[in-house]
Amino acid sequence: MAELSFREAIAAAIAQEMARDPMVYFIGEDVGAAGGVFKATVGLFERFGPERVRDTPISEQAIIGAAMGAAMTGLRPVAEIMFSDFLATCWDMVANQVAKTRYMTDGQVSLPLVIRTANGGGTRFGAQHSQSLENWGMSVPGLKVVAPSTPADAMGLLAAAIRDPDPVLFFEQKSLYGVKGEVPEGEHVDRLGSAKVLRSGKDCTIVALAAMVPRALRAAEKLEDLDIDATVVDVRSLVPLDTRTILGEIVKTGRLFTVEENPRLCGWGAEIASIAADECFDDLDGPIVRITTPHVPLPAADVLEDVAMPSVERIIETVRKSMR
């Protein structure tokens, strides 16, 4: 095992797949010599050169348009949108073209395209650069949606996304870039559509995604002091969604809590809550509880941003009150 930061794991995944497959190339703003604004692609330009690691103008529509065209002609592009908020400027292409091409061509044209983007809050960038937008992608048929929480998952899931025949939105939570963890040495490829049980307990199930996963784990450790034994599930992939794993853990404990960074209205946890209510209602011992960011633009002020986003303390208090 090697210890890598989250950002190093991203670069390692792209390098692994570019070395393996000459059809893979990388495109985005400042991704070349600069190594990306979050330094998540350092070394790729030097190793693979300007033909395969291409800097673009500041135009998200140009990036997605070029990547889509390349994918239609047999390449496997990895396109970076600097902040997930900027998906709004090219959302017509993503939602109306990229997501629907395979369907509208009756399978004659596939789009093996990955759109990487820095997502979420916690870094004081303000309302226009801090949104958590996984649920945008989740709502569009034809897109796969992935959001890892660890360096190992970042590398393995990104490699799997690059090899996938369909378009994948790959959300990288900005506050995780510096987090370090063990990553398998050699070729590392994970599987899309698989959740992970990170902690097993008997009293309740906490389901979390991306930066909320380490918070859920810390909360579960402290809940043990309150005689509450919590399971923690890392969703990892919203589309495909691993309902088998998630529902299996809910049935074991009889209680479900979701921890979501996205605004409450129409968040991904609402879908999981709906599925749980449909599929295992008789196994539930209490109401499903969602712990989310309120439906407000995320503040830039540090104190306000911290209050808005689900914290370890809020998770503990919500679970404690509900279980009591």
Is-catalytic flag, 129?
Answer: yes
Closest by CA position to 83, among listed 179, 172, 178, 211: 172
Between strands 144-146 and 237-239, the pairing is antiparallel
Which is catalytic among the residues 54, 76, 116, 129?
129
3-state secondary structure at position 185 = coil
- 8 A C-beta contact, residue 286 and residue 255: yes
Distance separating alpha carbons of residues 22 and 4, to the nearest angstrom = 25
Identify whether the C-beta of residue 209 lies closer than 8 Å to the C-beta of residue 238: yes
- Whose CA is closest to 308, among 294, 322, 290, 289? 294
Q: How many CA atoms lie within 13 A of 78 on its CB side?
A: 31
CA atoms 200, 204, 209, 213: torsion sign: negative
Instruction: Give the catalytic positions in this structure.
Output: 129
